[in-house]
Amino acid sequence: MGVEIERKFLVNHTKWKQLNKPKGLKYKQGYLVNEADKVVRIRVTDSGAYLTIKGITSGITRKEFEYQIPNNDAIELLDNFSGAKIEKIRYKISHEGKLWEVDEFSGDNLGLIIAELELKSEAETFTLPDWVTLEVSNDARYYNSNLSINPFKNW
């Protein structure tokens, strides 16, 4: 069984701009199912395309299954079967032995930058980078699936 244990944080824009970071990857994703207890997502990136199924979140843990699919299939699913979409640039940054994924959103979520950290357990400890600010792990507004239907610009 696949499990995702994830913490989410907002990012200080000034410190983020000053940070020496690797090249980001473009992500475009849409949702085939977007319900409180399950999400089915299609994602197209510079490096591949994926179908992801996520269950209900309990704390910061939820079931997650992800499968690579043909790029052409993913584009067709995005164009013909998904409702709202989001676009972002994802940066992968190592900090004190942990891999942080930082999403810089565009479109209707322009101005939003979220740092995510996947953990092995909810009790796992880590050190925050100085460019990370407020934790939003338990604020459902920041779930990508919710950002697709209630974007940051509307808050």
114-155 confidence digits (pLDDT tens): 999 999 999 999 999 999 999 999 999 999 999 999 999 999
Supply the CATH number for residue 88's domain.
Answer: 2.40.320.10
Provide the annotated active-site residues: 31
Ramachandran region, residue 106 (left: φ > 0; alpha: ψ -120 to 50; beta: rest): beta
Number of domains in the chain: 1
Structural domain boundaries, residue 8: 3-154
Q: 38-97: per-residue pLDDT in tens?
A: 999 999 998 999 999 999 999 999 999 999 999 999 999 999 999 889 999 999 999 999
